[in-house]
A and B are shown apart, each in its own frame.
Chain A
Amino acid sequence: MNAMSTTLDARVSEEEPLADVKDLRYAYEDGSPVLDGIDFRLKTGTVTGVVGPSGCGKSTLLSILAGLSEPTGGSVSWAPGVMTDRHPTSMMFQNDTLLPWLTVRQNVGLHYRLSAKRNRPSATEQRERIESLITLAGLTGAEDRFPYQLSGGMRRRTAFLAAVTPRPRTLLLDEPFSALDEPTRIAIHQDVHDVIKQQRITTLLITHDLAEAISLSDQVLVLTARPASVFRSFDIPFGEKRSMLELRDDPTFLSLYGEIWEHLATQIQRSNQRAA
């Protein structure tokens, strides 16, 4: 357990940006632009929430950062060699990506099955990592269940842990909790927040739920209607210790929500006008 806690606490220079996204552009093959010059920095160890009108290109942005698609312009520069022992990027998808024939424990440890043998930690380390994550996210007791035996919330927790297991430098969350009911979502927010902060994972959260973005993030970006660029950026001052339930009636939370919502609403309106 000792070796483990030192790796968990491994620090990096907090001020350095992990990724610098400059003038990122993306257009479909027919030339219609989706991303129109996105600029922002992912600060190491922080959570960046991205909100914007539906269909504005949020998911495209995420899949470029994940390396699943190529931008048509601009650049993403990653900080050189920061914590090279770490897995570069994990992503939690909107849809279920659990392998249905594996148990919760096996799904959480999926990275170890899929990665090259020489990169795998020892069996003991793997086991300890998996067990500690399962405990952190409150999945104790469900380790040997199969996905079809889990509630929606438990499936999402399992998928989240599977993404966290490789100790990613960056975690990309693509509207991961949109299918959950409100109480389940808030409970998951708490666990996700705690795990991300404890593991110091730099996170980019795409969501259409502004309350979710504010609760989890240190920085919220409002994107414009498509083609998207960053319309406004907001710092979220709640720090590392947050109670998701208490936040919801915190006056600062409420006023921030109101302020950001006004800007988001403008963009949603623009997006709707364009569609009409």
Chain B
Amino acid sequence: MMTNTTVARPASLGSAPKPALKPKSVRVRNRRLAIFAGQVIVLLVFLAAWQFLPLIPALSAWSHVFDPYFVSSPTKVATSVFDLATGSNNSVLIWPYMWQTVFASLLGTVIGLVLGGVCGLILSNFPFLSAVMRPFVVAANATPRVALIPVVVIIFGLSLTTSVVIAVLVVFFVAFFNAYEGGISIPRQMIDNARLLGANNARVLLHVRVRYALAWTITGLPLAVTFAIISVVTGEILTGYQGTGYLLATAATTGNATLTFGVVFYLAVVGLLIVMAAEALRRRVLHWWAK
């Protein structure tokens, strides 16, 4: 009787039509919409909490975090953001300060990338030299660059140069390690192949090593530019000289929470835009880099 063990299902169960699945593209779009809706809700909850919680006396008495004097409010910050952009209500204009910071960051990034890239490439090409330099490079990288800001200020004074140098100090190592890594990770056979195809040392360097190191350096561009902005703003806060950092320091020391948040807002937006641009540039230049 082993042949007849399958139990016949009632027709209504066995032939129950499956609900038709929506096409994949529709499901993907719905999912994206749901995620976006979730993000909007999180933002609204956060803004509402920021706006209304400090109005509860018990809370603001309990902690400065809920004291409107210290945390301002979204509506006030929004007004401040508008004023900073237009100069209305006798506000300072953010743009000259922002320009200082952005200019120093970008210039520092470019100089740092070039210097770090070249040094990384050179060391990756000469194992002996790189063995000699290794402990110094590691020590220099482990030193908090912010700690060097006073030294930079003493040497270059309160100037744009100081901001640029600070950015270079940070970006240099990002580029250096990337270029070095790129330089030593070139497959041996690729070099051998280039030589057998008729390349002398100079051409191997130019057509293979430099290209490789360059690609790896550019990979670090978004990270480098982020680091540059952070360090430039830090430098400006510490030295109180020009730029958004100076504006932040002034706002904070005068107890102007609204202005502080307004400036921070601009820094976040501009930082995001620059990183996105760097990411786009990287993807465009390194389109052939398939992971």
Residue in B189, B203, B215 whose CB lies within 8 Å of A93? B189
How far, in angstroms, from A17 to B287 measured CA to CA in the complex? 47
Known: A111-B198, A114-B197, A115-B198. A101 touches B288 (CB 8 A): yes
Interface string of B174-218 (1 = CB under 8 A from A): 000000000000010110111011111001100110010001000
Interface size class of B (residues with CB under 8 A): 20 to 34
How far, in angstroms, from A96 to B188 measured CA to CA in the complex? 11
Q: Is the CB of B290 within 8 A of A101?
A: no
Known: A100-B289, A147-B288. A87 touches B198 (CB 8 A): yes
Interface string of A80-101 (1 = CB under 8 A from B): 0000000101110111110111
How far, in angstroms, from A162 to B207 measured CA to CA in the complex? 15
Interfacial chain A residues near B193, Cβ < 8 Å: 91, 93, 97, 162
Residue of A nearest to B287 (CB): A146
Residue in B190, B200, B290 whose CB lies within 8 Å of A99? B190
Interface string of B252-291 (1 = CB under 8 A from A): 0000000000000000000000000000000000011110
Q: Is the CB of B198 within 8 A of A93?
A: no
Q: Is the CB of B198 within 8 A of A166?
A: yes
Q: Is the CB of B207 within 8 A of A114?
A: yes
How far, in angstroms, from A134 to B209 measured CA to CA in the complex? 27
Interfacial chain B residues near A100, Cβ < 8 Å: 288-290
Q: Is the CB of A99 within 8 A of B198?
A: no
How far, in angstroms, from A87 to B187 measured CA to CA in the complex? 24
State the Cβ distance, B104 to closest chain A Cβ, in Å.
Answer: 32
Q: Is the CB of A99 within 8 A of B211?
A: yes
State the Cβ distance, A162 to closest chain B Cβ, in Å.
Answer: 7
Interfacial chain A residues near B207, Cβ < 8 Å: 99, 113-114
In the complex, chain A residues 91-129 whose Cβ is within 8 Å of any chain B Cβ: 91, 93-97, 99-101, 110-111, 113-116, 119
Known: A91-B193, A166-B197. A114 touches B288 (CB 8 A): no
Residue of B nearest to A88 (CB): B196
Q: Is the CB of B199 within 8 A of A89?
A: no
Interfacial chain B residues near A67, Cβ < 8 Å: 196
Q: Is the CB of A91 within 8 A of B288?
A: no
Known: A100-B289, A147-B288, A148-B290. A68 touches B192 (CB 8 A): yes
Q: Determine whether A66 belongs to the interface, using a CB cutoff of 8 Å to chain B.
A: yes
Q: List 30 A-B contacts (CB under 8 A).
A: A66-B192, A68-B192, A87-B198, A90-B197, A91-B192, A91-B193, A93-B189, A93-B192, A95-B187, A95-B189, A96-B187, A97-B187, A99-B190, A99-B207, A99-B208, A99-B211, A100-B289, A101-B211, A101-B215, A114-B194, A114-B203, A114-B207, A116-B200, A119-B198, A146-B287, A146-B288, A148-B288, A148-B290, A162-B197, A166-B197
The 9 closest A-B pairs by CB, nearest first: A148-B290, A115-B198, A114-B199, A97-B193, A93-B189, A146-B288, A111-B197, A114-B197, A101-B288
What residues make up the interface of B, taking CB atoms closer than 8 Å to A?
187, 189-190, 192-194, 196-200, 203-204, 207-208, 211, 215, 287-290
Beyond the given pairs A114-B203, A116-B198, 16 more chain A to chain B contacts, judged by CB atoms under 8 angstroms and listed by A's residue number, are: A66-B192, A68-B196, A89-B196, A91-B192, A93-B192, A97-B187, A97-B189, A97-B190, A97-B192, A101-B215, A113-B203, A114-B199, A114-B207, A115-B199, A116-B200, A147-B288
